[in-house]
Amino acid sequence: MKLKKYSKIFMGLTLLGILSSCTTAPLTGRKQLSLVSDESVRESSISSYNEFIRQASAKGLLANNTADGQRLRRIGNRISSAVEQYLRENNLSSKAKNLDWEFNLIKSNEVNAFAMPGGKIAFYTGILPVLNTDSGIAFVMGHEIGHVIGGHHSEGASNQALAGVAASVTGLFAGNLVTSLVSEGLSIGLLKFNRTQEYEADKYGMIFMAMAGYNPADAITAQERMESIGGRDIEILSTHPSGKNRVEAMRKFLPEAMKYYKK
């Protein structure tokens, strides 16, 4: 009986902690769980990213000195400038301070790309011919950075922490969970995002590419190209909303994104 009583007390305190640990998504105003801080995830992600790049370099898999590598960096510089401008104009300058941009191209047939907290970007060469155009690359880069700006990495880690708390009310507290989760490194940086987060990241991607001078209508074309060659067999699409629904949402958002378009 005592254990049951203490469990109820613990869960009550946990609920209060959860309610007081919510933030607001910058773009949509959606409430997000924030048991794990952006700073904690950023530090762990940067460390893991650096190790990932070190290993890729040791294996001769970096393609930064190629024409495609230079192309990726050129697009990245435009997108990153747009992101920083967006943050300044939306009273989010504090987020910009934590961005130390880095763009790396990895030799791999995998159709994938990712951005990690801290402004760390990686594209695999396998995705470039699928995206085909600079604007397609810009959209995917903006989308992945959107996960960072939207706080999706810390939100995902927080959801994992909450699941751990609920599963073990007799001794495993949030602080220990946070330490354990953050120590996992790259797995935190590459959390699978849910559909709501993916829709948000699409909107960010269209806004950022538009501000960087890329037509956001091309985002829809890029998405359709990725879906047409393999759909869910492509790693970058593995947890995304279905192609039809996603493209429809992008079409609906296009008029808003066009307001940011700087030709």
Q: What's the confidence (pLDDT) of residue 256?
A: 97
User: Which has the higher per-residue pLDDT, 101 or 181?
Assistant: 101
d(CA 30, CA 111) in angstroms, rounded, equals 30
Percent of the chain at pLDDT > 90 equals 44
Q: Are the C-beta atoms of residues 13 and 21 closer than 8 Å to each other?
A: no
Mean pLDDT calculated for residue range 48-52: 90
Tokens of residue 257, six digits: 């994104």
Q: What's the confidence (pLDDT) of residue 198?
A: 87
Mean pLDDT calculated for residue range 227-248: 65
Q: What's the confidence (pLDDT) of residue 163?
A: 42
Helix residue ranges per DSSP H, 128-194: 128-131, 134-149, 152-167, 174-182, 186-189
Q: Which of 139, 150, 85 is nearest to 257 (CA)?
A: 139
Q: Give the dihedral sign, CA 61/59/193/26.
A: negative
The structural domains of the chain, with segments of one domain joined by +, span: 38-152+191-258
- Residue 62: CB atoms within 10 A of its CB come to 18
Percent of the chain at pLDDT > 70 equals 63
pLDDT digits (tens, 9 = 90+) for 8-29: 444 444 444 444 455 666 666 6
